[in-house]
Structure 1
Amino acid sequence: MAIRTQQSISGFIATDPQLTMTDRGEARFYARFGQENFHREEDGSFTKLEPSFHNLVMYRATAERAFERFTKGDSFVAEGYAHEYSYERDGQSLSGEEFVAKKIGHDTARTRYEVDRAPRKVAAQETVQREQERAFDPPVSRPTTNTPMLGR
């Protein structure tokens, strides 16, 4: 059986990610991403060039999870496809290109992190429980006194 392949990119999130809703009511993640560029010199060394910047989008649950986990400056690897599009603005016909990511993760060569291997449902329940515990303010305890109680 043949190996299924997809296009992939790596880079860094260059702008604060945005989460919006499409006309169909689906979540849409958008951010500009940068890619480092290098030129190989004749002696085998590399000269760093200016980074290039592009559009990154994701949809539905992938968009929501990415918005929770990624921030400006994060290095990533994504799988998906390049999408060329055209639109009109102020009577002018414009075109652009974006990378539509189906899957995305932090770049392990450039990111330190811990892996939570708990099943997703269990992990989600634990996260909710932790958030509820943080939000709970225990009642203020009153100072105790040595005065006798009535009725005893």
Structure 2
Amino acid sequence: MAIHTQESLSGFIASEPHLSTTEKGDARLFVKIGQEHYRREDDGSFTQTETTFHDLVAFRKTAERAHQRFAKGDKFVAEGYTHHYDRTDDNGQTVKVEEFVAKKLGHDLARTRYTVDRPRRTPATDSLDAGLEDTALSTDAPRRASTGAASVGR
């Protein structure tokens, strides 16, 4: 059987995460993300070039969990796909835009101090969703207050 692969994206959260709902009532996360770019020089060193900014969205539980755990400045990795579409700008012109739709989203282990808090296994935590609210929290990002779980600070 072939290895399942998808597009990936890494960068930093450039705006405060915004949680809203779709017309169907699903949670929707929107953030501007930044990607730093570098050029390799002849001597082997790297020179930072422009930083580009893009839109990232996530839906349902991924959106809710990301909104709780991510803050502006956090480094992330995401798996998903690029969605291209047309929209009308303020001048009535049709413009082509793209956004990255994150199906999976987490802190970048290579650029984030990180600890994992694994609760004791109980029948309640053995189900797929139980216990997820308390696992894999970044110690570099403030946690949004909305659940009774412990806070994580910078």
Superposition TM-score, scaled by structure 2 size = 0.77
> Over residues 21-47 of structure 1, what are the superposed CA-to-partner deviations in whole Å (9 max), with x where a residue is unaligned?
111111100000001100111222211
Residue aligning to 2:95: 94
Residue aligning to 1:49: 49
Residue aligning to 2:73: 73
Residue aligning to 1:143: none
Aligned length: 130
Provide the rounded CA distance (Å) in 2 between the counterparts of 1:58 and 1:100. 6
SS in 2 for 1:10: strand
Whether the 8 Å CA contact 2:7–2:79 is kept in 1: the answer is yes
Query: Where does structure 1 differ by over 3 angstroms across 4 or more consecutive aligned residues?
Result: 122-125, 127-131
Provide the rounded CA distance (Å) in 2 between the counterparts of 1:28 and 1:13. 16
Instruction: Give the structure with the larger helix fraction.
Output: 1
Structure 1 pair 109/124, CA: closer, same or farther in 2 (3 Å)?
closer
The percent of aligned pairs where both chains have the same amino acid is 55
Indicate yes or no: 2:48 matched with 1:39.
Answer: no
Provide the rounded CA distance (Å) in 2 between the counterparts of 1:10 and 1:106. 9
Aligned Cα root-mean-square deviation (Å): 2.1
Provide the rounded CA distance (Å) in 2 between the counterparts of 1:41 and 1:129. 47
Whether the 8 Å CA contact 2:65–2:133 is kept in 1: the answer is no
Structure 1 pair 45/28, CA: closer, same or farther in 2 (3 Å)?
same
Q: Which amino acid aligns with 1:101?
A: A
Provide the rounded CA distance (Å) in 2 between the counterparts of 1:81 and 1:15. 20
> Over residues 33-71 of structure 1, what are the superposed CA-to-partner deviations in whole Å (9 max), with x where a residue is unaligned?
001100111222211112111001000111000000000
Displacement of 1:91 after TM fit? 2.1
Larger mean Cα displacement after TM superposition, 114-123 or 6-15: 114-123
Q: Which amino acid aligns with 2:35?
A: Q
Q: Quick check: which has more Rg, 1 or 2?
A: 1
Superposition TM-score, scaled by structure 1 size = 0.78
SS in 1 for 2:51: strand
* Ranges in structure 1 where 5+ consecutive residues have no aligned partner: 132-152
Residues 56-135 of structure 1 aligned to structure 2 (within 5 Å): 56-89=56-89, 90-118=91-119, 119=125, 121-122=130-131, 128=148
Residue aligning to 1:12: 12
